[in-house]
Structure 1
Amino acid sequence: MTTRSVDPTICRRLINAGVHPLLARLWAARGISDPAHAHQTWSAMIPPQQLTHATHAAALLADAIAARKRMLVVADYDCDGATACAVALQALRRMGATVDFLVPDRFETGYGLSPAVVELAVHHPGGRPDLLITVDNGIASVEGVEAARAAGMDVIITDHHLPGDTLPRALAIVNPNQPGCGFPSKHLAGVGVIFYLMLALRAELRRRGAFADDGPRLDDLCDLVALGTVADVVRLDANNRLLVAQGLQRIRKGRMQAGVRALFAVAGRDPRNATAFDLGFALAPRLNAAGRLADMSLGIHCLLTENPDEAAALARQLDTINQERRGIELAMREEALSVLATEAPARAASVCVYRPEWHQGVVGLVASRLKDTYWRPALAFARCDDGTLRGSGRSVPDVHLRDALDLVSKRHPGMILKFGGHAMAAGLTLPEAAYPQFVDTFDAAVRELSGTDRFEPVIQTDGSLEADFATIEVAGLLQQQVWGAGFPAPVFRDTFTVLHQRVLKGKHLKLFLQRGAQRFDAIWFNRNENLPEHTELAYRLDRNEWNGRVTVQLVVEHALPA
């Protein structure tokens, strides 16, 4: 375990600006040095005009609306893509556009604006569109954009993924990660990019005098922006924290989409106490399950409907699909761990597993569990109907996964049929015959890029929690903040005496602890082994609500002998 360093000068500056002393210490340890960077009001948001091509794309959209052109949003089949699609449709319709959506099928057409998706767009039930707008995809769709152009359709791309060597010939590309874009936040999710474009479009329509007043409000879509941003595990830099904070504020006040409210209900969570954790671990998996096992249009309709009864029915369907997903994932994960236990590879740098009968939509979740178990880059593969293998991977901070796949692709042309993704997650397709060689070459690429064959997880803590701050009020204060990727929730480190301990339901360790004069209830989830009487714990400060009573609870994450 390590302790984050804190500059006392910065900490004092934040305290003098009125920040709670504990928050000041936590923020300073996470890189906030200026009180202004902690502001989470709309006025602190980076302006849309700083996003390359946003103003140009807005003008193109305004022209299309004026010409009554038919638009089609091409979405992605994950939570970021679904929320991005919902934001695009709601905003465009409010601004007078004729627009519908199309979401690719993970199993039939694959990811992004492929030529197969263009063919579906040409025969869309609402009629052939004049303009395709991608959300959360498109930056790698060189062939798809050419197919759309050949079919007489224009394309505007909005995406946040890293581009390849060649950019598609779209009318405009709005992506903070494209070459030459100076947008200060490179971590916008797909839903953040389309939200920015919709703000730019409204500004353009205002300039043209299209509204009798200021035009439609768009801040009421920020619950969707927050959900997609947290779900995609993008870095929560200052701008993303602002977007998430605004969304959570609306949710806590009960001002959210009917579908978001319904998802909170089926997840058994109270939106009045909504946190980023709820978005990422309760709502997002239920939406993602539709894209993994069924059809993500189900999730998009849930986010679009204004009818509470319809939203509730769709949310229940999503919940049922998610329960099915859990069962499939558990069986696949246990099989993968069993295989690796009996056929442990000599390689130490990576983990690859393949079973032809596995579900394509769940391999990414299996890869994530294997990455956590073995703490190394992990890939899981299943067989597609065409005989190719579809893989999904997750990585550790030491290895940029897309770069590793790119290195394999360049060293062995033709081995990988296609791939894409970013540092921590990626997907790829292989010929089945290439799998054995790929396992070796991928491992070699991981070793080459990292310079090592062993990775150790580092548990970063925020040091000791001052006794005066181990309270329900401070736990509530921490709960109200936006924590997540790149801005981790605080984990404290202290030595305790274990007064009592027992295992709940065979898998959770319930503890009664003492530190000085203070006594605490604590729990360690998914731990069924007792601790020594004196132990050093890494833990989170939490509020536990039970039968209307609120108490402080410590959630243990790691232990060392005292």
Structure 2
Amino acid sequence: MRWTLQPKPNPEIVDELSKKLGVGKAVASLLAQRGVKTFEEARKFFRPDLADLHDPFLMKDMELAVARIEKAIENGENILVYGDYDVDGTTSVALMSSYLKTLSPNIATYIPDRYDEGYGVSYQGIDFASDNDFSLIVALDCGIKAIEKVTYAKEKGIDFIICDHHRPGDSIPEAVAVLDPKREDCEYPYKELCGCGVGFKLIQALSSRKGEGVESLLPYLDLVATAIGADIVPITGENRILAYHGLNVINVAPRMGFNAILSQLKKEKITITDVVFVLAPRINAAGRMRHGQHAVNLLTEEDEETAIAFAAEIEAFNADRKDADKSITQEALAQIEDLQEQERNTTVVYHESWHKGVIGIVASRLTETYYRPTLVFTRSGDKLAASARSVKGFDVYNALESCKEHIEQFGGHKYAAGLTLLESEYENFKNRFEEVVSSSIERHLLTPEITIDAELDLKDITPKFYRILKQFAPFGPGNMSPVFMTRDLTDSGFAKCVGADKSHLKFRVKQDGNGPSFDGIGFGLGKKIDILKNGNSFMAAYSIDENHYNGNTSLQLKLKDIKD
């Protein structure tokens, strides 16, 4: 692991923040690193306010989108809310359809089948709209590249409104309105919204036209917060405001579907981590293992008994997903070993029978193991489909752009993408991808990095310090949970390997042999136990969290890495 210590912020700003906020230098320094420089910015950071959301009409085409929906409602037209089968897509469809149903009864939803239709807007979906007399499709979390399909819909007398956040291609579909802050001609101030976030801006605009304040939309923010966590977009700016208030809704008044899943957690407070590791995988499991419509049904259900039944169904999908994920990951790792693929700068593996619904998760697991830009392929009809994942600092979308002569279709983000190609192009693509990555990646990016916010003494870790740290949440890209480094640590002599396979490290440390001592846990770090033995001095990179045991709560160090 590479340890990278963040540059120290301007000491004058740190001093000023420390005085005005009445906090220690360590907290003031963490704020300054996150771009907080004044008392007012600190207030907005610690108390995100819905009043600070941008005017939705600053987004290109918003007026057109609102006017078309208002016209459809006035004329009693049938509106089809269409979205992708992942968390961002299904939460978007749940959000948009449940809001529009408060304005019109003529609303239906459509999620494409991952296996029969693939990602994004499909011809089957448009045919369904045509056969069932829908004259307007609102597409969410997809559509920015659906140029031919939007034209096809227009020929059938169907209008499109697109709410997307993926990068556009060379041209924009000829829809009634294309809402996407990543459009080059869109001057919307915040570019990092997820698909559900763009959908929220549209219902915010519709709501404001009726003279309603944004507070009236609070019940929808649990969906937006879940999409923000699952889609790994930066938790900065507007996303921070939406995630903060959305998490509050999840904790105070969650929708029936969320309540049915979370009731088994028995936690006092749900965090963004719970959203990412508990809610999101279950919502995703529907589209991975069966059909994304099951997730929409769960997220829009208002009857408690039915929601509990839907949640149990989704729990079963998630168990199937875990089994498939585990077995395919093992097969993929064996394939890499057999082919000595680990010598390459990329990881590209393929098996025709791998479950298409879990190849994205498997790609993430392989990236964790070998830390290379990774693609996992499987057969999809008469073509091959792949999920791509990248390493921090390397844009896999741009790399795929450089291989596009071998690709049928692709889309996505800097760190995650999907593509399809003809089987005859697989080897050509694989070689070209290796060539592109090898010639463009900086070598240090192939070693995992721990970004350390600050060096800290153990005596600075107090209950008050931790209470303030907790208020930095919600954490995520752009505002990660702070990581600290401490030198001259020694173990109390009780370090041991724990867990069923003894892969985790448990210990208790002091600094310079005196002062306070802290328990610590290092998941997956059992192999490093020798560094702690014999009273040797070492340094640790860690975050701070709470350990709840036997009714007692204490602060502990959650290890990222240790070095002697």
TM-score normalized with structure 2 length: 0.92
How far 1:20 sits from its partner (Å)?
3.8
Match of 2:62 in 1: 54
Preserved contact between residue 165 and residue 182 of structure 2 (Cα < 8 Å): yes
Q: Following TM superposition, by how much is the alpha carbon of 1:14 offset from its aligned partner in structure 2, in angstroms? A: 2.9
Instruction: Give 1:345 deviation, angstroms.
Output: 2.9
- Per-residue CA shift, 1:403-455, capped at 9, x if unaligned? 1111111xxx3x21111111000000111121111111011111333365962
Q: Is 1:367 aligned with 2:325?
A: no
Cα deviation code 1:345-398 (max 9, x no counterpart)? 3753211011111111111111111112222200001112x2311100101133
In structure 2, how many angstroms separate the alpha carbons of the residues matched to 1:117 and 1:425? 25
SS in 1 for 2:69: helix
Work out whether residues 102 and 121 of structure 1, in 8 Å CA contact, stay in contact via their aligned partners in 2.
no
Aligned partner of 1:210 in structure 2 is none
- How many Å apart are 1:190 and its aligned residue? 0.5
State the partner residue of 2:94. Answer: 86
**Alignment check: 8 A CA contact 1:349 1:454 kept:** no
Alignment pair present for 1:32 and 2:31: no
Rounded Cα–Cα distance in structure 1 between residues aligned with 2:309 and 2:13: 50
Q: 1:265 — aligned with what?
A: 263
Contact preservation (8 Å) 1:476, 1:543: no
Question: What does residue 76 of structure 2 align with?
Answer: 68
Q: Which residue of 2 aligns with 1:281?
A: 277
Residue matched to 1:95: 103
Q: Spell out, residue by residue over 1:169-215, the C-alpha distance to the aligned partner (whole angstroms, 9 max, x if none).
A: 10001110112111121100011000011010112233xxxxxx769
Q: For 1:424 and 1:141, how far apart are their aligned partners in 2?
A: 22
**Hey, what's the Cα distance between the residues in 2 that align with 1:116 and 1:305?**
26
Does residue 397 (structure 1) correspond to residue 404 (structure 2)? The answer is no
Which residue in 2 is equivalent to 1:300? Answer: 296
- Which residue matches 1:291? 287
Asked whether the 8 Å contact 1:2–1:460 carries over to 2, the reply is: yes
Aligned to 1:44: 52
Check 1:244–1:453 CA distance in 2 against 1; reply closer, same or farther (3 A cut).
closer
Residue among 334, 339, 345 paired with 1:343: 339
Deviation of the 1:473 alpha carbon: 4.5
Q: How many angstroms does 1:121 deviate by?
A: 2.6
Q: Is the 8 A contact 1:347 1:443 kept in 2?
A: no
User: What do the CA deviations read for 1:54-105 (whole angstroms, capped 9, x no partner)?
Assistant: 2321122112111111101001111111111111012112233621100001
| 2-structure distance, mates of 1:478, 1:555 | 14
Residue of structure 2 equivalent to 1:3? 5
Equivalent residues in 2 for 1:68-467, closer than 5 Å: 68-96=76-104, 98-123=106-131, 127-206=132-211, 217-252=216-251, 254-266=252-264, 268=265, 270=267, 272-345=268-341, 348-384=344-380, 386-409=381-404, 413=405, 415-450=406-441, 455-467=446-458
Does the residue aligned with 1:130 lie in a helix, a strand or coil? Answer: strand
Query: Paired residue for 1:524?
Result: 522
Q: Are the equivalent residues in 2 in contact too, given 1:55–1:201 (CA < 8 A)?
A: no
Change (3 A) 1:346 1:328: closer
SS, match of residue 149 in structure 1: helix
Alpha-carbon distance change, 20 to 188 in structure 1, aligned in 2, over 3 angstroms: farther
**2:433 alignment partner, SS class:** helix
The 3-state SS of whatever aligns with 1:517 is strand
Check the 8 A contact 2:50/2:215 in 1, yes or no: no
Report the equivalent of 2:475. Answer: 483
Which region of structure 1 is more displaced relative to structure 2, 507-516 or 67-76?
507-516
> 1:114: Cα distance to partner?
2.0
Query: Secondary structure of the equivalent of 1:402?
Result: helix
Cα shift at 1:508? 2.0
Q: Which moved more, 1:313-322 or 1:107-116?
A: 313-322
RMSD over aligned CA atoms reads 2.0
Q: Provide structure 2 residue ranges, at least 5 long, that are not aligned to the other structure.
A: none
Paired with 1:376 and 1:339, the residues of 2 have a C-alpha distance of 15
Q: Is the 8 A contact 2:64 2:176 kept in 1?
A: no
TM-superposed deviation, 1:11: 2.2
Structure 2: distance between partners of 1:176 and 1:215? 20
Letter of the 1:337 partner, please give it.
L
TM (norm. structure 1) is 0.92
> 1 CA distance for matches of 2:171 and 2:240?
32
**1:277 Cα shift?**
0.9
Structure 2 CA distance for partners of 1:230 and 1:170, relative to 1, 3 Å: same
2:172 is paired with a residue whose SS is: coil
Instruction: Verify the 8 A CA contact 2:129 2:135 in the aligned structure 1.
Output: no
Deviation for aligned residue 1:9: 2.3
For 1:541, the aligned partner's letter is I
Question: Which of 484, 494, 498 is the aligned partner of 1:492?
Answer: 484
* Distance in 1 between residues matched to 2:542 and 2:284, nearest whole Å: 29
CA separation in 1, counterparts of 2:387 and 2:87?
Answer: 17
Which sits farther off after the overlay, 275-284 or 347-356?
347-356
Instruction: Read off the aligned partner of 1:138 and give its amino acid letter.
Output: G
1:501 pairs with one of 483, 495, 498: 495
1:285 partner SS: helix
Conservation of the 8 A alpha-carbon contact between 1:512 and 1:520: yes
Secondary structure of the residue that 1:284 maps to in structure 2? helix
Match of 1:542 among 538, 542, 545: 545
Q: Which range is displaced more, 16-25 or 276-285?
A: 16-25
- CA-to-partner distance for each residue in 1:454-509, whole Å, 9 max, x for gaps? 62222111222344542344434433411101221111111321121222222322
Supply the distance in 1 between the matched residues of 2:65 and 2:326 (Cα, whole angstroms).
44
Percent identity among equivalent residues?
Answer: 32
Q: Tell which deviates more after alignment, 397-406 or 192-201.
A: 397-406
SS in 1 for 2:495: strand
CA distance in 1 between counterparts of 2:446 and 2:72 reads 52
In 1, the alpha carbon distance for the partners of 2:95 and 2:453 equals 37
Instruction: Return closer, same or farther for 1:408/1:194 CA change in 2, 3 Å cut-off.
Output: same
2:346–2:373 contact (8 Å) kept in structure 1: yes
1:540 is matched by which residue type in structure 2? S
Paired residues, number: 544
Residues 498 and 531, structure 1, Cα contact 8 Å, conserved in 2: no
Q: Secondary structure at the match of 1:94?
A: coil
Q: Is the 8 A contact 2:531 2:563 kept in 1?
A: no
